[in-house]
DNA sequence: TTGTATGCGTTATCAC
DNA sequence: GTGATAACGCATACAA
């Protein structure tokens, strides 16, 4: 059992975790000097620095982040909220985020919201407790509470993957609606005229693509709701095959092309075409979304829409770092720069009292239609 | 500029972050009582509890984890180290981990090591600074320093994905060597006799599969090194196609089957077979690894090896929670239970002085050969 | 360039 | 069942 009070500080401590003090004793300097070395402060004599560094290495000292965060209220933590760990689409986004975060010594706290705004709100709450220095979140369908919390927060927030209407802070993505428009137009141009849609999960971005798609077809009076088949279950190749069969059954041949809400579904549809001896692309056109690598290797190769997922992640993280850097220098004149996102009226703890959102950055990463053999 | 000293505590604070104290004032209790409510302590009168909970909700109070971690040295953070965010194999593992971690209120700190033990060591260092309550790490090829650090740590560590020789603590996975053995035997049984191997990235687990594969072939004197084609670059379908062409060129037709180190490569190989008019499975057999969904939808459908990735992640996290629970209760009699991993000789900060590793849990999640049309 | 005093927000420990 | 006090390990502000 531990002693109640210890006056010989460096020797008796509850846990046996090494602290700044231990290193300081070993190096014969004060703790704060060690802190400066650890944090790469300029103003330390190289002689002293080396001595300290030697002590650090000998002891294997690792700074305690919690203490550091508590004292400085900078955490070097970035919260990332994605709807699904299973959806490979987010792997690219994550890689982009990490490509910037890691060299800048930021760590990622990753949460999977399972496409649920409620779960998202819960995760945001948890993340906020970690004092993140920034947050990257998918889309714009947060709960009101979540939006309020984030707007009241003092760190940069980036919404990614979609062009959102009323952004919390910064936004980077592209218009899924316009992507849907582009696919519909393209299929029409290729002289398909009874164009259907199959979609699974039906998250907000998928819905936006569908909306864009419908808008075009209905404008030329080619929209038939029998040709819109959706399912709330997760996407998969098997699901694509199933939905395609449903589409065929529902339309009874009155369908000559399909826009699949992603490539997995499209691959399933292609597979089914083969089984049903439906000739692609002559008799039937198939277009996917995301342009995963397999799209190019399908038989026939799959037309799809390429989006810059890696870039979205990379630039989102860059936006955060930029803001962190500009706001870090000038600690006093905060309220009249654009470096802070929101200014609260007071600190009487009513988090809804926001005056304004100063930034409204939006970066469009665009999309590109890739025509391959599955369409004329 | 902030005032130097403030005696009216609840009103003037540097940041305007809400604290226990604010809630306490609002609820008319002491901070510690609020803490007890937040942490769901049993011994709080329900009347008081409700009052406090009301205050928490009204103010929108979110506990500061850093302060909590610093004071309690329990972080509810689990470090997870994976070799690659691009490799979809790890998505399933992560899902498994989250499926247990989230309900138990643990958060994940995810690091991508890019298949580099050095980068892995760096990440471990960073993670250790966060006082994780547990750590999940891929494979057994850590640097000596990393192993030493982890063996000296006081929290549970699980190595996953592979059966490692000298585990740091706990281990869950399967023998990639045996998987390689199984594939080779299976192809031999199917009367292929000039069996090749194509592999990319060549991480330790891939190498183990290759080793198992070779051991079988060499035992029956069917091993020909011309038929082993590898490349250090990342795997992809395109890479599979390329390696397959290399294999064909190198063997000049003296090859009638190939074990591909993963399904992406195998899909590329299948694609190339089609282009080269090589009849699969009659004239040529193809076997992949991982059994991704697309394997079943390839043409012809791809034989592969199924492994329980989700289970690996899930059980790894469960192992950690189990240990955390058993060691949390009995805080005194630690040294003679199996609940702690290692016992140090003293606390003079030489992290190499380990006496022994008390646990040696190993869970084998196995693998299963899936025969499909790409092999006879 | 280096050191001293103080506080960050929480929990552990022990009184009451 | 509830509260006072002292850590936890580090960084800020300022003094030297």
Backbone angles phi, psi at A242, to 5 degrees: -65, -50
Token readout for B142 is 């850590």
Check if residue A217 sits with its Cβ under 7 angstroms from strand D: no
Q: Model confidence over A146-175: pLDDT tens digits?
A: 999 999 898 999 999 999 999 999 999 999
- Which residue has the least CA–C1' distance to nucleotide D7? B71
Question: Measured over all CA atoms, what is the biggest interatomic distance in chain B, rounded to whole angstroms?
Answer: 87
Angle, helices A46-59/A31-38, rounded to nearest 10 degrees: 90
Query: What sections of A199-252 are H helices per DSSP?
Result: 204-219, 237-251
Using an 8 Å CB-CB cutoff, list chain A residues near B85. 91, 94-95, 98
Integer CA distances (angstroms), A210 to A200, A202, B329, in order: 11, 9, 54
Provide the pLDDT confidence category of residue B334 given band limits of 50, 70 and 90. very low
A176-205 residues touching B, CB cutoff 8 A? none
Nearest nucleotide to B64, CA against C1' atoms: C9
The reported pTM is: 0.88
- Tell me the residue ranges of DSSP E strands in chain B: 77-82, 107-112, 134-138, 157-160, 170-173, 195-200, 228-231, 257-260, 285-287, 304-307, 342-344, 354-357, 362-364, 367-370
Please report the pLDDT score of residue B212 as a whole number. Answer: 98
Q: Model confidence over A67-103: pLDDT tens digits?
A: 999 999 899 999 999 999 889 899 999 999 999 999 9
* Residue entry with tokens 């060691």: B327
Mean pLDDT of B207-217: 98
- Calculate the angstrom distance between C1' of C16 and CA of B30: 14
Cβ(A108)–Cβ(A97) below 8 Å = yes
- Calculate the angstrom distance between C1' of C10 and CA of A82: 30
Token readout for A362 is 């939006």
Angle, helices A144-152/A117-129, rounded to nearest 10 degrees: 30
B7-26 residues touching A, CB cutoff 8 A? 13, 15-18, 22
Token readout for B362 is 């190993």
Determine the Cα–Cα distance for residues A144 and B127; give it in Å rounded to an integer. 33
* Residue entry with tokens 């008019």: B277
Check if residue A19 sits with its Cβ under 7 angstroms from strand D: yes
- Calculate the angstrom distance between C1' of D2 and CA of B100: 35
3-class DSSP assignment, residue B137: strand
DSSP string computed for A22-52: HHHHHHTS-HHHHHHHHTT-S-S-HHHHHHH
Cβ(A372)–Cβ(A301) below 8 Å = yes
CA-based nearest distance A272→chain B, Å: 10
Q: Does A344 contact B at CB distance below 8 Å?
A: yes
Q: Which residue has the higher pLDDT, B297 or B346?
A: B297
Using an 8 Å CB-CB cutoff, list chain A residues near B274. 299
Residue B175, pLDDT > 50, answer yes
Please report the pLDDT score of residue B327 as a whole number. Answer: 67
Using an 8 Å CB-CB cutoff, list chain A residues near B95. 85-86, 112
Provide the pLDDT confidence category of residue B15 given band limits of 50, 70 and 90. low
Below-50 pLDDT ranges, chain A: 1-14, 329-358
Task: List chain D nucleotides near protein: any atom < 7 Å from a Cβ.
Answer: 1-14
- Specify the DSSP class assigned to residue B227: G
Mean pLDDT of B214-240: 97
Q: Model confidence over B249-266: pLDDT tens digits?
A: 999 989 999 999 999 999
Mean pLDDT of B113-134: 95
Q: Which residue has the higher pLDDT, B206 or A339?
A: B206
For residue B59, give the chain A residue with the closest CA: A349
Using an 8 Å CB-CB cutoff, list chain B residues near A131. 64-66
Determine the Cα–Cα distance for residues B215 and B202; give it in Å rounded to an integer. 17
By C-alpha distance, which of A301, A293, A305, A290 is closest to A370?
Answer: A305
Q: Model confidence over B92-106: pLDDT tens digits?
A: 999 999 999 999 999
B286-315 residues touching A, CB cutoff 8 A? 293-294, 296-297, 299
CB-closest option in A67, A94, A130 to B70: A67
For the beta carbon of residue B230, count every other beta carbon within 10 angstroms: 17
Spell out the residues 6+ positions from residue B76 whose beta carbon is closer than 8 angstroms to its own. Answer: B65, B105, B106, B107, B133
By C-alpha distance, which of B133, B160, B131, B127 is closest to B146?
Answer: B127
- Which residue has the least CA–C1' distance to nucleotide D6? A5
By C-alpha distance, which of A185, A174, A216 is closest to A375?
Answer: A185
pLDDT over 70, % of chain B: 87
Check if residue A38 sits with its Cβ under 7 angstroms from strand D: yes
pLDDT over 90, % of chain B: 81
Please report the pLDDT score of residue B3 as a whole number. Answer: 31
- Which residue has the least CA–C1' distance to nucleotide C14? A4
Determine the Cα–Cα distance for residues A143 and A168; give it in Å rounded to an integer. 12
Mean pLDDT of B317-335: 67
- Calculate the angstrom distance between C1' of C11 and CA of A15: 15
Task: List chain C nucleotides near protein: any atom < 7 Å from a Cβ.
Answer: 1-14
What is the pairing mode between strands B77-82 and B107-112?
A: parallel
Please report the pLDDT score of residue B319 as a whole number. Answer: 96
Q: Which long-range contacts (CB under 8 A, 24 or more apart) does B118-123 make?
A: B118/B143, B120/B81, B120/B146, B121/B145, B121/B146, B123/B81
By C-alpha distance, which of A169, A130, A172, A170 is closest to A342?
Answer: A169
Check if residue A150 sits with its Cβ under 7 angstroms from strand D: no
Residue B330, pLDDT > 60, answer no
Using an 8 Å CB-CB cutoff, list chain B residues near A86. 91-92, 95
Cβ(A280)–Cβ(A294) below 8 Å = no
- Calculate the angstrom distance between C1' of D11 and CA of B52: 32
Please report the pLDDT score of residue A326 as a whole number. Answer: 78
Of chain B residues 53-82, which have a beta carbon within 7 Å of strand D? Answer: 67, 70-71, 73
Please report the pLDDT score of residue A328 as a whole number. Answer: 53
Please report the pLDDT score of residue B100 as a whole number. Answer: 97
Cβ(A287)–Cβ(A376) below 8 Å = no
Check if residue B4 sits with its Cβ under 7 angstroms from strand D: yes
């Amino acid at each position: 059992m531990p002693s109640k009070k210890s006056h010989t500080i460096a020797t008796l401590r509850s846990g046996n975790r090494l602290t700044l003090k231990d290193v300081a004793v070993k190096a014969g300097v004060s703790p704060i000097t060690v802190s400066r070395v650890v944090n790469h402060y300029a103003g330390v004599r190289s002689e002293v620095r080396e001595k300290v560094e030697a002590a650090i290495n000998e002891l294997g000292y690792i700074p305690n982040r919690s203490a550091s965060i508590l004292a400085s209220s900078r955490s070097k933590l970035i919260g990332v909220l994605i709807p699904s760990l299973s959806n490979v689409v987010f792997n690219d986004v994550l890689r982009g985020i990490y490509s910037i975060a890691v060299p800048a010594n930021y760590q990622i706290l990753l949460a999977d919201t399972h496409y649920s705004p409620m779960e998202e709100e819960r995760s945001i709450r948890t993340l906020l407790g970690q004092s993140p220095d920034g947050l990257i979140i998918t889309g714009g369908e947060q709960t009101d509470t979540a939006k309020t919390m984030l707007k009241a927060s003092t760190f940069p927030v980036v919404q990614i993957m979609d062009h959102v209407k009323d952004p919390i802070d910064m936004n980077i993505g592209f218009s899924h609606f316009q992507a849907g428009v582009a696919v519909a137009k393209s299929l029409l141009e290729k002289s398909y005229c009874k164009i259907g849609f199959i979609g699974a999960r039906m998250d907000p971005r998928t819905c936006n693509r569908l909306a864009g798609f419908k808008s075009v077809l209905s404008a030329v009076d080619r929209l038939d709701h029998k040709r819109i088949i959706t399912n709330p279950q997760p996407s998969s190749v098997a699901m694509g095959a199933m939905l395609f069969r449903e589409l065929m059954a529902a339309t009874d041949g009155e369908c000559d092309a399909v826009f699949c809400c992603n490539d997995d579904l499209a691959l399933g549809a292609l597979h089914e075409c083969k089984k049903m001896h439906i000739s692609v692309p002559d008799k039937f056109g198939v277009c996917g979304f995301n342009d995963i690598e397999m799209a190019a290797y399908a038989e026939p190769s799959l037309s799809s829409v390429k989006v810059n997922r890696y870039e979205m992640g990379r630039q989102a993280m860059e936006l955060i770092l930029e803001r962190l850097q500009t706001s870090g220098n000038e600690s006093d004149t905060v309220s009249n720069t654009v470096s802070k996102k929101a200014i609260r009226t007071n600190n009487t703890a009513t988090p809804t009292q926001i005056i304004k959102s100063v930034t409204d950055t939006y970066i469009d990463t665009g999309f590109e239609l890739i025509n391959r053999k599955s369409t004329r």
